[in-house]
Amino acid sequence: MNGRKLPDGGILYDESDDIEDDIEVEGDAAATPVAPIDWNEGGRNETGLRGAELIAEFVKRLPNNPGVYRMFNEGGDVLYVGKARSLKKRVSNYALGKVHSNRIARMVRETANMEFVTTRTETEALLLEANLIKRLRPRFNVLLRDDKSFPYILITGDHRAPAIFKHRGARARKGEYFGPFASAGAVGRTINSLQRAFLIRTCTDSVFETRTRPCLLYQIKRCSGPCTHEISDAGYGELVQEAKDFLSGKSQNVKAHMAEAMNAAAEDLDFERAAIFRDRLAALSHVQSHQGINPAGVEEADVFAIHHEGGISCIQVFFFRTGQNWGNRAYFPKADPSLSGAEVLNAFLAQFYDDKPVPRQILLSETVEEIELLAAALSEKAGHKVTILVPQRGEKRDLVEHVIANAREAHGRKLAETASQSRLLEGFKETFKLPYVPQRIEIYDNSHIMGTNAVGGMVVAGPEGFVKNQYRKFNIKSTDITPGDDFGMMREVMTRRFSRLLKEEGKPDRSGVTDATVDAADRPFPAWPDIILIDGGQGQMTAVRTILEELGITDSVIAIGVAKGVDRDAGRERFFAPSRESFTLPPRDPVLYFIQRLRDEAHRFAIGSHRARRKKEMVKNPLDEIGGIGPSRKRALLQHFGTAKAVSRAALSDLMAVEGISEAVARQVYNHFHEDAAK
């Protein structure tokens, strides 16, 4: 099976690939591929049929069963993924020309192939459709963007003294998970407050096992010291259970219990103990004061509201778990402006819950199509009943109105940012006399200390601001570069970046491209940059243009150098653009500020990547370089000898005495540190 990896981890297949083998269906769903039209030996469509005529040929072979269909263009890119109660009836609408917008008509015209999968039920088709849309990211579907995983609070359950951690990703570790939280910052603040309230440890198990006396957190009353038995296991277990009760919505009971204990301690004249409970109560109050609204009638629910205006949709979601508000997040899905808010919200919901736990109740700001089908599909996925409501009155309606107000405000901010960014890009075009407004700008910078741990950074900006999932770092690998040679480092970065881009995407055709042919809202974010900004002067630009000439792409990419001004003052930068003399911009020019912001972001990213690499080098252990020495053997060696240096000096017999280290492994470790012994 041949496929090309997509940025989000999905796979884009050619028509000749058996994509059905890779389809995942939730639960017990059965997916069956429909036999395709007989193409040529390579699997390509050489029948001459395109668009509605091609689709009509497929309709003749389709069953009336529910399923999912995919539409491809000539290049094998997925144009659209849809589901249907009856594949034959749904797809026949395309063949008959029953389309709802010019955009869908264009999609039909571009269709050069289709693939189908039948399912047992329409709910299975809905789940499969959401899975494929998220993986393949078709151009004509509503796409959920900025779909980062949510953080949770984890209280571990595989240790005698459970710890509390921030957690993302798969729930592989045994314990109880609480959330989701809207941001990592919210989790961090909550954990800090819970430490003060319940004195639960936050150290790793390895640190816990090696403690011989309490750490600083115990001294400042943010941990009860279970590592050195400053508290009994039973007493610590009570603290952990109180924390779980609080996170499970029993906050009033927990606070009442603490208040009773505080009053009892005060009556016994144990004022020091009473002060401890007073501080713990204050910490709990701090947690709840930062949760915003906490409606009494909503125990477990997600609340969605959409504001649709000006071609941009904003979907705001609030998370309520165990009667507590754990924050909110705004989404701006990519969608055809002709779609209604209800249609966008309907497509958004199935994708949103494709990889997230589903609450028992979902509240919406407006009725969506097939609401009962969506509820049935999510119930099947979650393993419990899911209710989807559009409240009309009462506390829940007030809550939805609050979320609508937040969606409206977030939409206004996004619209202002987009308009501002559009004006800046238009000004960028005028300043540098470009043929069209750039859709993708790449900015490069290098960072190192005397040539060590050298890193090249690339940041990307577009019509909607910085595109952080497109950022790249380049660890400088060449041994021929003199330490500190910025020109050599930039040559390596440019060569690696554009050699790979040519191999993966091919050379772009820029002929005849104008603003009229660039439709940012209708096309995926381009892989090729229109502009590359280099943080450097004439020397850097010479190195960059030499590489572009060698690769034959000088007519595909415009390189612009940004040199620091006199005395390295911001506002006095000099620009080096092709076919013109270097120049400066007026001190208060908005385009100048825009370029400074781009350059500063590249500098920040390169510096951060360099520091991360330097930190990794500083804590690098010589044992990591020995093949066959994994974490367990490394831990055994370090616990036996104390340090890696002591391991390097150990005799072969001493290495063999370590538990879990065989004679062959001991000899491998010994030979690694004693070159003469290996000869």
For the chain, what is the mean pLDDT? Answer: 79
Residue 260 resides in a domain: yes
Phi/psi at 339 (5° precision): -75, 150
- Structure confidence at residue 283 (pLDDT): 63
- Are residue 565 and residue 442 in the same domain, yes or no? yes
- Which of left, alpha, beta for 310 (phi over 0: left; psi -120 to 50: alpha)? left
Report the Cα 446 to chain-centroid distance in Å: 25
| pLDDT for the residue numbered 40 | 42
Helix (H, G, I), strand (E, B) or coil at 442: strand
- Of the three residues 221, 255, 289, the one that is the final residue of a domain is 289
> Are 179 and 151 contacting, i.e. CB atoms less than 8 angstroms apart?
yes
Check residue 648 and give its pLDDT: 83
- Give the integer Cα–Cα distance in Å for 458 and 443: 6
Q: Is residue 504 part of a domain?
A: yes
**Helix 371-382 vs helix 122-136: angle between axes, to the nearest 10 degrees?**
80
CA 264 to chain centre: 49
* Mean pLDDT, residues 232-261 taken together: 77
Same domain, 266 and 362: no
- Does any domain span residue 295? no
Reported as a pLDDT band with limits 50, 70 and 90, residue 227 is: very high
| Claim to verify: residue 16 and residue 74 sit in the same structural domain | yes
The least confident of 50-64, 246-260, 524-538 is 246-260
Residues 445, 486, single domain; the answer is yes
Look at residue 305 and tell me whether its pLDDT is greater than 90. Answer: yes
Q: Which range, of 63-77, 342-356, 373-387, 611-625, averages the lowest pLDDT?
A: 611-625
Tell me the per-residue pLDDT of 107-122, one tens digit each, with 9 for 90 and over: 888 888 888 999 888 8
How many other C-beta atoms are found inside a 10 Å radius of the C-beta of residue 213?
A: 9
Residue 296 lies in a domain: no
> What CATH number did the domain enclosing 662 receive?
1.10.150.20
Domain boundary among 381, 413, 445: 413
Helix/strand/coil percentages in the chain, nearest 5: 45, 15, 40
Is pLDDT at 290 greater than 60 in this prediction? no
Q: Please list the alpha-helical segments (H only) found in 432-537.
A: 486-505
Q: Tell me, yes or no, whether 317 and 243 share the same domain.
A: no
Instruction: Write the DSSP assignment of 130-176 as a string of letters.
Output: HHHHHHH--TTS-B--S-PPPPEEEEE-SSSS--EEEE-S---SSEE
String of DSSP letters for 201-266: --S-HHHHHH-SS--HHHHTTS---GGGTSS-HHHHHHHHHHHHHHHTT-HHHHHHHHHHHHHHHH
The residue that leads in pLDDT, 572 or 301, is: 301
pLDDT of 16 strictly over 60: no
Q: Same structural domain for residues 392 and 491?
A: no
Per-residue model confidence (pLDDT) at position 70: 92
Asked if 53 and 88 sit in the same domain, the reply is yes
Which of 625, 617, 609 minimizes the C-alpha distance to 672? 625
Residue 424 covered by a domain: no
Q: Is the pLDDT confidence value at 459 over 90?
A: yes
Residue 427 included in any domain: no
The verdict on 239 and 318 lying in the same domain is no
Domain that holds residue 186: 152-289
Same domain, 515 and 439: yes
Residue 169 located in a structural domain: yes
pLDDT, position 190? 77
State the number of CA atoms in the 13 A half-sphere of 107 facing the CB.
26
Residue 590 phi, psi (nearest 5): -60, -35
Residue 148: predicted pLDDT: 67
Judgement on whether residues 375 and 495 belong to the same structural domain of the protein:
no
- Is the same domain home to 457 and 589? yes
Number of domains in the chain: 5
Token readout for 661 is 């280290």
Q: Which range has the worst mean pLDDT, 137-151, 294-308, 503-517?
A: 503-517
Give the CATH number of the domain where residue 306 resides: 3.30.420
Q: Is residue 25 part of a domain?
A: yes
Helix axes 271-289, 251-267, angle to 10 degrees: 160
Higher pLDDT, 263 or 308: 308
Do 238 and 340 fall into the same domain?
Answer: no
CA distance 243 to 233: 15
Residue 44 CB neighbours (<10 A): 15
Percent of the chain with pLDDT over 70: 79
